[in-house]
Amino acid sequence: MRRTPAELVGARPEPGHTIDFDGRPVPALPGQSIAAALWAEGILAWRTTRVNGRPRGAFCGIGACYDCLATVNGIASQRTCLLPAEPGTTVTTQEGHGRADLAV
């Protein structure tokens, strides 16, 4: 028998919603971080490094490592592990440093 934490505490979460990731809808639950919603959908990387373009996603999950940076609602370099996945949020993959005003 599989039990979830919500069942164990008797919680009744509000209905889910979606966020937009690179033009596709991603389901999210109230209170869930953007990184958690992406992980739950099987998306493990949403940033590339400025040197060599290596993929990055959530690593520490507490906002200390900056691996989970993405462009959120048009603002680059947002830590997705700290931001709530609110209805209508738009997330796009961030390439490199995410700032057009810096020379690479």
Q: Which pLDDT score is estimated for 70?
A: 94
Domain extent at residue 58 = 14-95
| 103, part of any domain | no
Higher-scoring residue by pLDDT: 53, 97: 53
| 67, part of any domain | yes
| 53, part of any domain | yes
Reported as a single tens digit per residue, the pLDDT across 24-51 is 999 999 989 999 999 999 999 999 888 8
Reported as a single tens digit per residue, the pLDDT across 56-97 is 888 888 888 889 999 999 999 999 999 999 999 999 999 876
Q: Is the pLDDT at 101 greater than 60, yes or no?
A: no
| 74, part of any domain | yes
Q: 67: domain CATH number?
A: 3.10.20.440
pLDDT-derived band at 4, boundaries 50, 70, 90 = confident
Number of domains in the chain: 1
Q: Which pLDDT score is estimated for 98?
A: 61
Region at 96 (left for phi over 0; alpha for psi -120 to 50; beta for the rest):
left
